Amino acid sequence: MPDEEKIDVTSMKRKSKTEKQSKRKSEKDLEPKPIENPEEYSSTAPPTSSSERIGKTGDLEELSKTEPEGTYVDPCKRNESGDFQMIAENSGSEGDKGKHSNRGEGNGFMKAAQSQALRPFVIISSSYLLYTITDGAIRMIVLQHAYNKSFSAMQVAIMFTLYELAGVFTNLAAGFMGAKWGIKVTLIMGLTLQLFSYSLLFGWKDDWTQVQAIVYVTMSQMFAGIAKDLTKLGGKTVTKLVTPEEQETKLFKLVSLITGWKNSLKGVGYFMGSALVQVSYELALGVMMGLVVLAMPWAILGLDRNLGTAKKKNASWKEVFKMDNSKLNWLSLARMFLFASRDFWFEVPLPFFLRSPSCEGLGETRCPEFDCGTGAICGIEGFCENINPGGGCGGLALERVVVGAFLGGYIILYGQVQSWTPQLVTGPLNQTPPNKLTEVLWGVINCLPTLVIWAAMTWSPSFTDYEVTGMTSWLVAVIVTFAIIFAINSSIHSFLVVNYANKDKVAVSVGFYYMSNALGRLFGTIGSGVLYTYIGDNFGDSIGHDAIAGLAACFLAGTVSSLMAALITMKIDDQDSGLRCGRITMVGNSSVTLSVDNKDAVHTKEGALNDPGEEIEKI
């Protein structure tokens, strides 16, 4: 049957109902009205089939509300060559024709609605991304300053304990706060606490004992951890609030964009923090405080106080911990192991390894006769000593700014891959929007890089014979590969949590999920400090332990954690759409597409005929 005939049959069936509804509407009702609540606008879902869309073409304003510009639109409904007029003629109503001719006003309404709906996204994203630079910098400033003061990896891991532990509770509490008071309040609180945390670091005195310094810095990092998760809540939840229901592909792209750029700018913060602290510790703190101040006016002046508040009664603590949203709970547990798989080796052990000097000559070479090299100093007795025995020996002996560039480059690459995952990876593989099977596949792949580098550090001559060029090549190749794969996993996770979250309590749902994320980071950070410090032979008080063995153990722990995340994800009930890899259907029954370009229907496994636009969005 030709398209025109199908449209005519559908229109005739709905003609009577459409005419009755048109008579009830006054001229005042048909005028575009400004949107007072962007959240309500964004929650309006478009019709889910062609017949429903065509049945509503008699009311352009109603159509404008349900499908803003930029989302998928049925070609026969919004065609510049005159399809509007064709539909109106087949509807058989002169009144309908007149309404369709008023396309300019409808388009103006849609642009205004879209602008107001996306305004919170622009403001929150700008403040959040600017803040993120300071979040990356504070980690490097503390770590690099502590390394130069001879703190061990275990001691530095303890300094970050409350930073991560605060995230466990703050994510959950922030969800309630956001649902009750709105995202604006949580964002401003986060920025204010970040300023306070930086100001405390000015009080770190050189003449303090290590215990005094650990306690003081740990407390200051607690406020930074609270600030991070309060601020992150707004950046994660605003994407859900400005994206219409059923538009999962658009949501996936928005979430990937914000999380990807967040991580890229965090990498910039890693580099800036390391570069500035090499010049001056106080200078580094002052510059970062200035960036936080720069981010605050946007949040204070440009946001609606009610943005992100729960439309219904807020959830209770009991409701949050109930297993009524099993998808989100299993995903949260998987997220804990996924991020532990990275933090087992990245946050503390890797920068310590990059800074640690060669073990050769330490404790034996006389300083006046030979240069001790980077990472070593001339000791009191006239022999070369490790500048930080607690950091081990056997690493690459890189300067602070180079270490910051190395780690920052990893995070920037990771962030950019995360931003473009829908377009470059899951889209071409027909895995957009993703489901649990997509994450299981990439979760298993995530195990491979860390497993390979563990084997190389254990048996490869590059590490056993201490060949710096070979070690550097191995580390760069594996870490770049891991960054790409981990970014894909993280992007899929970020989409799934927002997709599984309840719309009217999205702040609580996302907060609970990122509580598990913080718990995984805490688990990985503490575990990394223990493994890196205590695995490997100890060569003496002035030399340190075997850093290669310590880092290898951390990579192995990360591999096990990645595998656990993939296995836990299997428990999620979200496999109906199957798993595809390009044209190959790996799980589930494949769909047979019949000339989608010609607007023909798509046959699904149930034998039903679905709207081609819906299938395009699913695939």
For residue 8, pLDDT beyond 60:
no
Cα 383 to Cα 361, 377, 474: the distances in Å are 9, 8, 32
Domain locations in the chain?
Answer: 3-101, 112-569, 589-618
For residue 106, pLDDT beyond 90:
no
Residue positions counted in the chain = 619
Using CA atoms, how far apart are residues 419 and 487, in angstroms rounded to an integer? 9
Using CA atoms, how far apart are residues 351 and 141, in angstroms rounded to an integer? 12
Q: What average pLDDT does the structure give for the chain? A: 73
CATH 3.40.1550.10 fits 112-569, yes or no: no
* H helix runs in 70-102, sequence order: 83-91, 94-101
pLDDT tens, 439-477?
898 999 999 999 999 999 999 999 999 999 999 999 999
Burial of 73 from C-beta contacts in 10 A (0-12 / 13-18 / 19+): middle
In eight-state DSSP terms, residue 545 is: B
pLDDT band at 517 (very low <50, low <70, confident <90, very high): confident
Specify the residue for token string 């352009």.
Answer: 60
Question: Shortest CA distance to 348 belongs to which of 185, 124, 104, 550?
Answer: 550
In eight-state DSSP terms, residue 538 is: B
- For residue 129, what are its two tokens? 């991304």
Q: What is the pLDDT of residue 250?
A: 60
Question: Shortest CA distance to 41 belongs to which of 92, 131, 107, 109?
Answer: 109
pLDDT band at 554 (very low <50, low <70, confident <90, very high): very high
Question: Which of 170-179, 571-580, 581-590 shows the highest mean pLDDT?
Answer: 571-580
pLDDT tens, 390-423?
899 999 999 999 999 999 999 989 888 877 777 7
Using CA atoms, how far apart are residues 602 and 605, in angstroms rounded to an integer? 10
pLDDT tens, 254-304?
666 666 677 778 889 999 999 999 999 999 999 999 999 988 887 777 666
Identity at 205, one-letter amino acid code: K
Q: Are 550 and 367 in contact (CB under 8 A)?
A: no
